[in-house]
Amino acid sequence: MTYILKILSSLKPSLRKATIKSTSALTVMTVAFLTLSGCATTQRLTPQQCQASNWQQVGYTDGTLGRSGAYFGHYINSCASVVGATPNRIQWEQGRQQGLKKYCTELNAYKLGRDGYDWQSVCPLEGIDKLEEAYSQGRYYYIRQRDLDYLRSPYPFGYGHGRFGYGYGPLGYGW
């Protein structure tokens, strides 16, 4: 830190301000990135959650979200340091199977596709064709709506004042 201060004190006042601003901006961006990257990963359970969790309910929630059986490893890792807290795999899997009954419906598959979410392949193979068809129809609707929204945007193809400094419109007519 003293090294940085020594360098800053040797700079001209105007350059010193610019350097401090850019360093501050870089620091803020780094903190924001690290915070957001923490949000993208799975949240760790607290020791209280490890000890007092209803593992069947946790499994049910995971099933309704389409999480696979491998997701249970997250709970084992989170609770490894907590004495006397062992996640119950049997209860969790029972709950997850109940949750999958809600996840593996044609209506849910359609909604996931329509809302732009990915389909998780955790459903039983029987009836998978109907689920995939429902997801495909929802996904088609999502893509069509996205494209229509793009076309309705003010300048989807670059009309207006652009690179050349003058207005131009469709078919080359300057409006």
Higher per-residue confidence, 135 vs 155 = 135
User: Of 150, 141, 70, which Cα lies nearest the Cα of 110?
Assistant: 141
**Highest-pLDDT range among 10-24, 39-53, 81-95, 124-138:** 124-138
Q: Is the pLDDT of residue 30 over 50?
A: no
* 110-130 tens-digit pLDDT: 999 999 999 999 999 998 999
Query: Mean pLDDT over residues 103-107, rounded?
Result: 96
DSSP assignment of the chain: -HHHHHHHHTS-HHHHHHHHHHHHHHHHHHHHHHHHHHHHSPPPPPHHHHHH--HHHHHHHHHHTT--GGGHHHHHHHHTTSTT----HHHHHHHHHHHHHHHSSHHHHHHHHHTTPPPPS-S-STTHHHHHHHHHHHHHHHHHHHHHHHHHSS-TT--EE-TTSSEE-GGG---
Query: Mean pLDDT over residues 10-17, rounded?
Result: 54
Q: How far is CA 121 from the centre of its chain?
A: 18
Residue 88 has which token pair?
């119950």
The pLDDT of residue 154: 76
The pLDDT of residue 99: 95
**Residue showing tokens 């350059």:** 15
DSSP assignment of 107-128: HHHHHHHHTTPPPPS-S-STTH
Q: Range with the lowest mean pLDDT among 3-7, 134-138, 142-146?
A: 3-7
User: CA 33 to CA 21: how far, in whole Å?
Assistant: 18
Residue 37 has which token pair?
């990257």
Mean pLDDT, the chain, integer: 74
User: Of 73, 127, 138, 140, which Cα lies nearest the Cα of 100?
Assistant: 127
